Amino acid sequence: MVGAGHNGLVAACFLARAGLKVLVLERNPYIGGAAVSRRLYDGFTYSNCSYVCSLLRTEIIRTLDLPGHGLQIIPYEGGCTLMRNGGHLALYDNHDALRREIARHSRRDAEAYDRFARDMLRHCRFIKPLLLRAPPDPTSFKPRDLGELLHLGRHFSNLGEERMYETLRFWTLSCADLLDEYFESEIVKAHLAGSSIIGTALGPRSPGTAYVLLHHYMGSIDGTVGAWGFARGGMGAITQALAAALAASGGEIRCDAPVERILTRNGRATGVALASGAEIPAKLVVSNMDVRRTFLKAMDPAELPPEFVQRVRQFKIRGSSGKLNIALDGLPRFPAIPAGSPCVRGDLHVTDSIDMLERAYDDWKEGRWSQRPYLDMLIPTQIDPTMAPAGKHYMSVFVQYCPYALADGPWTDDKRASFGRTVIDSIAEHSPGFRDLILHAEIRTPYDIEREVGLTEGNIFQGELTFDQLLFNRPVPGYAQYRSPIKGLYMCGSSTHPGGGVMGAPGANAATAILGDLRR
Amino acid sequence: MSASRYDCIVVGAGHNGLTCAAYLARAGRRVLVLEAAERPGGAAATREFAPGYRVSSCAHLLHLMPAWLLEELGLARHGLRMAAERMPTIALSPTGALRIPLDPDSAAQNLGDTDAHALHEYEARMRRLARALRPLLEAVPPRLGSRAWRDRLTLLGLAAKLRLLGRADLRELLRIAGMCVQDLLDEHFESPLLKGALAFDAVLGTNLGPRSPGSVFTLLYRLAAAGGAPASLAQPVGGLGALTEALARAANGAGAELRLGAPVARVIVSEDSAAGVVLESGERLEADCVVSSADPTTTFLRLLGAEHLDAGFVRRVTHLRTEGMTAKLHLALGRMPQFTALAGAVPTGRLVLAPSPGAVERAFNDAKYGKFSAAPLLEIIVPTAVDPGLAPAGQHVLSAVVQYAPYRVAGGWEGQREQFLDTILQTLEAHAPGLRESVRAAELLTPEDIEAEFRISGGNWHHAELALDQFFMVRPVPGAAQYRAPLKGLFLCGA
């Protein structure tokens, strides 16, 4: 197994449980990939890539008994969107409180919200059973593929005529058009639209972003659909629990062991060569890396069919998000949020309107970071005291958009600092005195994420979630079932169906495919 | 007249209304076509826009009408002649020109060998894919989840036809259908001019930019509708009005009656089915069925009325995206425009001013925030280059489709029309120095003007935006995609 990210570890766990002898190789001195907790400043723990949890499949948590291996997920309540004019929209768990809050902006939208939530739930229910299945190849005549296609068709037609049309439309709609069908208030729309652009090189007006919105809705915590939470001890707790589960099944993990090359002979994978020169033979090689890295960097493209290589080159992995991890001397104040409101413990967004999000995207298209970025801020230390010393706080700030390649030349330390200033200035507009609280800030551009985590272009999903790269097209048409053109080489990263987020489904599906091939 | 009773009343004498009427009449039905304007044509009409100068006032090229349809209705017999056929597209920048399809004999192409080769392969593949999609356009979309054998057979038939593409092409179709055109073009080509022109074709008349997913689909749609032939553009003698006049004669010849200057006020509903129409003059005309070629918003909300439809259906019609993004420019010119890049050649093709996909995207950026493009994109023809009869001797007409011009421009079109006209003329002047001086008269139709003149709500010439979520089984709205309205006896035949 190449890479100890959450998908690599999930796949490794399932393979080890089936009795295979599994070795996980990790390039960094620590495991976790993009689900990692790190101590970069005295006494503080940062969730320094992914920062909240919801998508991790319940089936995986239960089967691998992750709570038994130390994983604790704490849901947070609500959230809030802060506007530049001092206004805000808070979201609460409590349904009545939520309705009152939305009605403060628009009475009609308060009514519409229930309809919206119900419809989103329905779309979730449609897609959920598909997450843990390998997508069929629609061009194949194999009985398995035809069977899966038929299953898909049945699943779809069970929706009933009305719902089928709604679903067809939903998959191709832009988030802005979707929200326009329900809401009139700009702030309500902007609040909801945030999830449709996270990690995506598209704007809220781009068709297909309604799906990205859904992608962030389909998780659950303890059966509460759409709920998000913190992993106690940071996101690294998830991969630590997976590592513990793996150890319990007899799997082995080796850190500081960067894989230089995947070895093949006669079209079959035979093992890997480490950067140190050591070769490790294996019957099967599974790559947790994204497809571009797996096939273009760790292999000689000449060993692969040329059309496959071309498709891998064309697979779109675009860096569009940045991240700040900030150690704070105290809890920042947000005057817009009423004192004592629980929403400050949830995710705080900074944006005014769909237009503002769209303009932030226009900046990205031109190769600069957004001058008015969309921010998703969380202060997990309000709920999880293990991440910072008493009285101090850790704040995670997700920034959309930030390009991997700038129009005016490569990233430099100065540019990174300037990007950080743009973000901090944005926060300070809503939180007076914020700058004085900062003890340490880690600023991460897509370029940094690529260097550190190994994600091509720093794309958090290992590939854009657009229709041309979903289901049977992900990552390459004809190779959507976790197998590669090389016998004995499999893919299990987020580049595969059903895509990114700390979900674990690609890892679990890859393990199923591998065990199927081994007839175990 | 009140005693007269028709089998069918067709509302609107545009090309779709007339085609429908011609077929119904040929099948022996007693048909009446009602047109609000004083001449037939709808958005395919020719009119005088300045004394002595005539132009196709909305659509200006014949592109998407299937050849078999022209033949079956015998339009040539009814006087339709072409002034130009198989018109090439010429991508223009202030200094360069590129002819598509490439002409092996022309020395003027400044496209590298790699791109020329890539274009050849790209066009061949797109044609194959477009041909496979064609059955989608010529079939009545099936209803999903219906137990009727007809719907199931249609679905199976369509699936089988797609399968016939073969594995490689089918995979490619499934991959690119939802993609954005910029990515597709970047996979194939280097030349910004070539990519700009192809990207322009993908977004023409839509509310999309080259980076919007789904823009490959609109491109495939255009190709499929044009029969998979990229160069099927044609210009009838006398403008597009000649087409609808021939259609009107064909319909007449088959026995259909046409009344002009007869705007319909509403559809009569009796015992839960459409029973005729009431004209704005108050006259009642009865018929067994009513076919509307008006756009769905007009048909359902104005002519029929929300009270006859259920709430969910009305909500869907209200949410139909119908706002136009395209303006139309007509110039009366004292002499033939001289495009620098054409080096004195007479512009007999379709000229496209869209220098790069980046320029197209930036023009779209403006439109997203309710502004007209500061650097607009143009599809230009000089109809008088092949059909001199449209202007006084020695004089010329220039007709251009201009993108992007949002229907709802911030601050309203009043007062900004002049500004936009000036912006467009500057763009033209940059490509054809001296053109501005030769302008004798100019007319700019914004989407708002198109709405008023052609009675299309939103001023979108496709009636409703063409996009994946408004296509085939869900066009115009789910529950009415089989050309039947939810009300018995009311049918749709518009774009």
Q: What is the DSSP string of A422-477?
A: HHHHHHHHHSTTHHHHEEEEEEE-HHHHHHHH--GGG-TTSS--SGGGSGGGSSST
Domain boundaries, chain B: 5-83+238-321+463-492, 88-232+326-403+410-445
Say which range, A160-164, B76-80, B290-294, has the weakest mean pLDDT: A160-164
A54 secondary structure, DSSP code: S
Of residues B98 and B481, the one with the higher pLDDT is B98
CA dist B182 to A384, B160, B233, Å?
45, 30, 24
Within its chain, how far is the Cα of A215 from the centroid?
A: 9
What pLDDT, on a 0 to 100 scale, did the predictor assign at position A383?
93
How are beta strands B490-492 and B284-292 bridged, if at all? parallel
Residue B479 to residue B320: CA distance in whole angstroms: 13
Cross-strand pairs, A221: A224
Residue B178 to residue A466: CA distance in whole angstroms: 8
CA dist B42 to B36, B218, B266, B322, Å?
9, 23, 19, 17
Query: Is the predicted pLDDT of residue B103 greater than 80, yes or no?
Result: no
How are beta strands B235-236 and B82-84 bridged, if at all? antiparallel
- 3-class SS of residue A207: strand
**Per the CB < 8 Å rule, is B183 touching A316?**
yes
Q: Does residue A260 belong to any structural domain of this protein?
A: yes
Condensed to tens digits (0 to 9), the pLDDT of residues B223-276 reads: 887 765 555 789 999 999 999 999 999 999 999 999 999 999 999 999 899 999
What pLDDT, on a 0 to 100 scale, did the predictor assign at position B468?
73
What residue has token string 């004292």? B334
Residue B293 to residue B353: CA distance in whole angstroms: 32
Set of chain A residues whose Cβ sits within 8 Å of the Cβ of B179? 466-468
What pLDDT, on a 0 to 100 scale, did the predictor assign at position A35?
96
Residue pairs spanning A and B at CB distance below 8 A: 99
How close B418 comes to chain A (CA, Å)?
27
Set of chain B residues whose Cβ sits within 8 Å of the Cβ of A467? 177-179, 213
Question: ipTM of the predicted structure?
Answer: 0.91
Q: Does residue A174 belong to any structural domain of this protein?
A: no
Condensed to tens digits (0 to 9), the pLDDT of residues B185-201 reads: 999 999 999 999 999 99
Query: What's the structural domain count of chain A?
Result: 1
Chain A residue at shortest CA distance from B468: A172
How close B474 comes to chain A (CA, Å)?
7
Residue A437 to residue A395: CA distance in whole angstroms: 11
Domain B5-83+238-321+463-492 bears CATH identifier 3.40.50.12780: no
Residue B246 to residue B119: CA distance in whole angstroms: 37
How close B10 comes to chain A (CA, Å)?
29
How close B11 comes to chain A (CA, Å)?
28
Residue B129 to residue B185: CA distance in whole angstroms: 16
CATH of the domain at A495: 3.50.50.60
Using CB atoms, pick whichever of B175, B177, B368 lies closest to residue A205.
B368
Q: Does residue A83 belong to any structural domain of this protein?
A: no
Q: For an interface test with B, which of A174, A211, A368 has the most B Cβ atoms less than 10 Å from its Cβ?
A: A174
Segment 163-192 of chain B within 8 Å of chain A by CB: 163, 167, 170-172, 174-180, 183, 187
Taking an 8 Å Cβ-Cβ cutoff, which residues of chain A contact chain B?
138-139, 157, 159-162, 164-166, 168-170, 172-173, 177, 180-181, 202, 205-208, 314, 316, 355, 358-359, 362, 365, 466-468, 472-473, 477-478
Condensed to tens digits (0 to 9), the pLDDT of residues B143-159 reads: 776 777 888 888 888 88
Asked if B487 and B309 count as a contact pair (C-beta separation under 8 A), the reply is yes
Residues composing chain B = 495
Letter for the amino acid at A37? S
Tokens of A481: 């079932």
Tokens of B44: 């395919």
Structural domain for A263, as ranges? 6-74+232-315+462-517
Letter for the amino acid at A111? E
Set of chain A residues whose Cβ sits within 8 Å of the Cβ of B478? 161-162, 165-166, 169
Q: Does residue A203 belong to any structural domain of this protein?
A: no
Q: Does residue A210 belong to any structural domain of this protein?
A: no
What pLDDT, on a 0 to 100 scale, did the predictor assign at position A141?
86
Query: In this structure, how many other beta carbons lie within 10 angstroms of the beta carbon of residue B248?
Result: 25
What pLDDT, on a 0 to 100 scale, did the predictor assign at position B461?
78
Nearest alpha carbon to residue B238 among B379, B82, B346, B380? B82
Q: What is the mean pLDDT of residues B83-90?
A: 90
Q: For an interface test with B, which of A116, A123, A139, A186 has the most B Cβ atoms less than 10 Å from its Cβ?
A: A139
The model's pTM is 0.92
Cross-strand pairs, A38: A46
Query: In this structure, how many other beta carbons lie within 10 angstroms of the beta carbon of residue B387?
Result: 21
Set of chain A residues whose Cβ sits within 8 Å of the Cβ of B317? none
Q: Which residues of chain A have pLDDT under 50?
A: none
Asked if A400 and A197 count as a contact pair (C-beta separation under 8 A), the reply is yes
**Percent of the residues in chain B that have a pLDDT greater than 90, as a whole number:** 67
Three-state SS annotation for B123-185: HHHHHHHHHHHHHHHCCCCCCCCCCCHHHHHHHHHHHHHHHCCCHHHHHHHHHHCCCCHHHHH
Query: Is the predicted pLDDT of residue B477 greater than 80, yes or no?
Result: no
Set of chain A residues whose Cβ sits within 8 Å of the Cβ of B312? 162
- 3-class SS of residue A232: coil
Instruction: Give every CB contact of residue B486 below 8 A, 6+ residues apart in sequence.
Output: B309, B310, B313, B479, B480
Q: What is the DSSP string of B219-281?
A: HHHHHHHTTT-TT--BEETT-THHHHHHHHHHHHHTT-EEESS--EEEEEEETTEEEEEEETT
What pLDDT, on a 0 to 100 scale, did the predictor assign at position B106?
59
Residue B107 to residue B451: CA distance in whole angstroms: 44
Angle at the Cα of A256 (from A251 to A262), degrees rounded to 5? 75
What pLDDT, on a 0 to 100 scale, did the predictor assign at position B151?
80
Asked if A328 and A438 count as a contact pair (C-beta separation under 8 A), the reply is yes
How close A305 comes to chain B (CA, Å)?
14
Q: Does residue A143 belong to any structural domain of this protein?
A: no
Domain covering B88-232+326-403+410-445 in this structure, CATH number:
3.90.660
Asked if A22 and A14 count as a contact pair (C-beta separation under 8 A), the reply is no
Fold match, B5-83+238-321+463-492 / B88-232+326-403+410-445: no
Nearest alpha carbon to residue A407 among A451, A457, A369, A446? A369
Condensed to tens digits (0 to 9), the pLDDT of residues B296-351 reads: 999 999 999 999 998 888 988 998 888 999 999 999 999 999 999 998 899 999 99
- Reported as a pLDDT band with limits 50, 70 and 90, residue B4 is low
What pLDDT, on a 0 to 100 scale, did the predictor assign at position B358?
96
**Per the CB < 8 Å rule, is B469 touching A173?**
yes
Nearest alpha carbon to residue B101 among B118, B111, B88? B88
Query: In this structure, how many other beta carbons lie within 10 angstroms of the beta carbon of residue B43?
Result: 24
Q: For an interface test with A, which of B162, B165, B171, B325 has the most A Cβ atoms less than 10 Å from its Cβ?
A: B171
- Reported as a pLDDT band with limits 50, 70 and 90, residue B2 is very low
A372 secondary structure, DSSP code: S
- Reported as a pLDDT band with limits 50, 70 and 90, residue B107 is very low
- Reported as a pLDDT band with limits 50, 70 and 90, residue B3 is very low
- Reported as a pLDDT band with limits 50, 70 and 90, residue B463 is confident
Set of chain B residues whose Cβ sits within 8 Å of the Cβ of A166? 478
Q: Does residue A499 belong to any structural domain of this protein?
A: yes
Q: Nearest 10 degrees: CA dihedral of A63, A64, A67, A69?
A: 160
